[in-house]
């Protein structure tokens, strides 16, 4: 019996097994089907949901939506709309990029969106990732795609486009707009967007990195994106694109910004790849997950700044309609929560302890990650890819 269907993520009542997905499993096990093949066979599906259902599903992704009216108008006008997110292949993938992104993509595609992943390999080179080695950066991009296949992302309405290939194919069009955006904004305005690279405004930047925001804004129009679906940390450059569209009489993109997932240590507003203990990564072992969650900041009866509750809200209840907290009878026995709000109240009222919350978060996150571990352990090409990626990190 199926308890939840999120545009491709299917979960049995008793035990979550993402590897049981019929469509996704086939693509993962074969895994001979490259992202190029997926793009060639691309045939977008139209949503069978009502207009209001499509709107509610898209809107549920956003911590902020710019704007609600334009989102509704877009859905009225288009059965299939283009939604874009660019990802810079770099280092490791944490669960916000893996699990949260799969949740969001499946909501968009369920609503009739065509989700375009802009594999920003040139951007990673500009940002000096992997020492600027484009071949290593491309391997990292492929590694990200393998994880999404394994974790249950519905690829039916998904395209993967490599920035270096697409820009080279339409170079004049692309660079002309980059130049136009750069000439119509002050250096001060562009520097305000450097947060998108994980850099502070006053950080010492190379000249190439100043082009980064201009290029990212260009991507939106180059890909003819109706929707930008990125994290709140990318808000400034998305607003830059809206401003540019207003000046030039172009269609303004709808911006659906998902919330940032907290780091596991006290006071960390977002995860940090440079601090391995601040995040759960998609290839972490079960022991890694247990150690990190056990050490995570989780003050009793406190919601503000609590990363374990943050994981529960955005990851666990993003994938589960109900969640059973298992605990010994002497501490009250199991509790079934029908939504996050019920659980939060129970935690604030001291019905649910930090120890029981952590133990069940550990168990559930490990269930979510098990298909990824299985994929990289048992698929030969994925295993070799991961070995190369691990070598690059040394």
In a domain, 266, yes or no: no
Q: State how far the Cα of 3 lies from the Cα of 338, in Å rounded to an integer.
A: 12
More confident residue, 201 or 140: 140
Among 30-34, 62-66, 203-207, 269-273, which is the least confidently predicted range? 30-34
Q: Give the domain CATH number at 338.
A: 1.10.240.10
More confident residue, 35 or 82: 82
SS3 1: coil
- Short-list 122, 241, 128, 123, CA closest to 189: 241
Q: State how far the Cα of 263 lies from the Cα of 261, in Å rounded to an integer.
A: 7
151 shares its domain with 55: yes
281 shares its domain with 219: no
| 170-191 pLDDT per residue, tens | 999 999 999 999 999 988 888 8
pLDDT tier for residue 251 given thresholds of 50, 70 and 90: very high
247 shares its domain with 338: no
Among 55-59, 90-94, 219-223, which is the least confidently predicted range? 90-94
More confident residue, 220 or 201: 220
Q: Burial level of 382, CB count in 10 A (0-12/13-18/19+)?
A: buried
In a domain, 270, yes or no: no
**Structure confidence at residue 201 (pLDDT):** 47
Taking a C-beta distance cutoff of 8 angstroms, is the pair 256, 71 a contact? yes
248 shares its domain with 162: yes
Residue 65 has φ and ψ, to the nearest 5°, of -125, 125
Quick one: average pLDDT of 262-284? 89
Taking a C-beta distance cutoff of 8 angstroms, is the pair 265, 297 a contact? yes
217 shares its domain with 330: no
Quick one: average pLDDT of 137-157? 91
In a domain, 105, yes or no: yes
| 80-126 pLDDT per residue, tens | 999 999 988 877 899 999 999 999 999 999 999 999 999 988 878 87
Q: State how far the Cα of 4 lies from the Cα of 20, in Å rounded to an integer.
A: 13
254 shares its domain with 290: no
Last residue of a domain, which of 258, 289, 323? 258
In a domain, 265, yes or no: no
Burial 29-45 (b: 16+ CB within 10 A, else e): eebeeebeebeeeeebe
Q: State how far the Cα of 260 lies from the Cα of 192, in Å rounded to an integer.
A: 19
Quick one: average pLDDT of 297-320? 96
211 shares its domain with 313: no
| Residue 252 structural domain | 2-258
| 345-384 pLDDT per residue, tens | 999 999 999 999 999 999 999 999 999 999 999 999 999 9
56 shares its domain with 192: yes
- Count other C-beta atoms under 10 Å from residue 112's C-beta: 22
Burial 345-372 (b: 16+ CB within 10 A, else e): ebbeeeebbbebbbbbbbebbbbbbbbb
8 shares its domain with 64: yes
Q: Is the pLDDT of residue 198 over 70?
A: no
Q: Is the pLDDT of residue 33 over 50?
A: no
Taking a C-beta distance cutoff of 8 angstroms, is the pair 223, 85 a contact? no
Q: Is the pLDDT of residue 225 over 80?
A: yes
pLDDT tier for residue 35 given thresholds of 50, 70 and 90: low
- Short-list 25, 256, 15, 2, CA closest to 154: 25
Quick one: average pLDDT of 67-81? 97
Split into its structural domains, the chain has a count of 2
Q: State how far the Cα of 313 lies from the Cα of 324, in Å rounded to an integer.
A: 14
More confident residue, 244 or 190: 244
pLDDT tier for residue 18 given thresholds of 50, 70 and 90: very low
pLDDT tier for residue 28 given thresholds of 50, 70 and 90: very low
Q: Is the pLDDT of residue 43 over 80?
A: no
**Structure confidence at residue 20 (pLDDT):** 27
More confident residue, 117 or 35: 117
**Percent of residues, the chain, with pLDDT higher than 70:** 86
In a domain, 267, yes or no: no
225 shares its domain with 177: yes
189 shares its domain with 313: no
Burial 224-246 (b: 16+ CB within 10 A, else e): ebbbbbbbbebbbbbebbbbbbe
The average confidence (pLDDT) of the chain is 86
Vertex 14, ends 11 and 20: CA angle to 5°? Answer: 40
Last residue of a domain, which of 258, 286, 301? 258
252 shares its domain with 280: no
What distances in angstroms separate CA 16 from CA 4, 163, 318, 366, 368, one per listed residue? 10, 35, 13, 10, 7
Among 194-198, 331-335, 345-349, which is the least confidently predicted range? 194-198
More confident residue, 37 or 298: 298
Residue 44 has φ and ψ, to the nearest 5°, of -65, 145
H helices of the chain, where? 22-30, 35-40, 51-59, 68-77, 95, 101-110, 121-126, 134-151, 163-169, 171-183, 187-191, 207-222, 235-248, 286-295, 307-311, 317-319, 340-348, 354-378, 380-392
320: left (phi over 0), alpha (psi -120 to 50) or beta: beta
Last residue of a domain, which of 228, 258, 288? 258
What secondary structure letter does DSSP report for 46?
P
What secondary structure letter does DSSP report for 341?
H
pLDDT tier for residue 26 given thresholds of 50, 70 and 90: very low
Taking a C-beta distance cutoff of 8 angstroms, is the pair 253, 241 a contact? yes
Quick one: average pLDDT of 38-65? 87
In a domain, 264, yes or no: no
């Amino acid at each position: 019996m199926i308890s939840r269907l999120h545009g491709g993520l299917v979960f049995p009542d008793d035990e979550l097994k993402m590897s049981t997905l019929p469509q996704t499993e086939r693509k993962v096990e074969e895994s001979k089907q490259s992202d190029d093949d997926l793009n060639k066979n691309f045939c977008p599906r139209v949503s069978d949901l009502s207009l209001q259902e499509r709107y509610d599903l898209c809107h549920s992704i956003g911590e902020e939506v710019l704007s609600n009216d334009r989102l509704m108008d877009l859905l009225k006008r288009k059965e299939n709309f283009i939604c874009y997110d660019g990802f810079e292949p770099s280092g490791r993938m944490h669960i916000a990029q893996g699990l949260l992104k799969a949740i969001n993509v499946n909501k968009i595609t369920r609503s009739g969106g065509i989700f375009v992943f802009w594999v920003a390999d040139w951007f990673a080179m500009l940002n000096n990732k992997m020492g600027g080695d484009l071949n290593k950066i491309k391997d990292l991009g492929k590694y990200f795609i393998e994880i999404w296949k394994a974790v249950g992302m519905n690829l039916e309405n998904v395209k993967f486009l490599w920035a270096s290939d697409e820009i080279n194919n339409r170079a004049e069009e692309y660079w002309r707009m980059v130049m136009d955006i750069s000439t119509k904004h002050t250096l001060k305005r562009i520097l305000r967007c450097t947060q998108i690279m994980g850099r502070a405004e006053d950080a010492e930047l190379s000249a190439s990195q100043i082009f980064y925001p201009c290029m990212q804004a260009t991507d939106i129009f180059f890909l003819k994106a109706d929707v930008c679906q990125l994290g709140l940390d990318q808000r400034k450059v998305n607003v830059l694109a809206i401003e540019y569209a207003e000046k030039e009489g172009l269609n303004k993109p709808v911006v659906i910004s998902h919330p940032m997932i907290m780091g596991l240590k006290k006071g960390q507003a977002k995860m940090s790849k440079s601090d391995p203990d601040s995040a759960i990564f998609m290839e972490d072992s079960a022991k890694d997950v247990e150690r990190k969650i056990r050490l995570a900041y989780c003050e009793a009866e406190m919601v503000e700044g609590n990363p374990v509750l943050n994981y529960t809200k955005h990851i666990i209840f993003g994938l589960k309609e109900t969640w059973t907290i298992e605990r010994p009878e002497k501490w009250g026995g199991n509790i079934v929560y029908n939504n996050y709000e019920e659980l939060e109240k129970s935690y604030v009222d001291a019905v649910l302890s930090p120890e029981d919350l952590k133990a069940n978060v550990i168990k559930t996150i490990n269930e979510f990650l098990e298909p990824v571990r299985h994929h990289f352990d048992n698929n030969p090409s994925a295993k070799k890819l991961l070995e190369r990626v691990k070598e690059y990190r040394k």
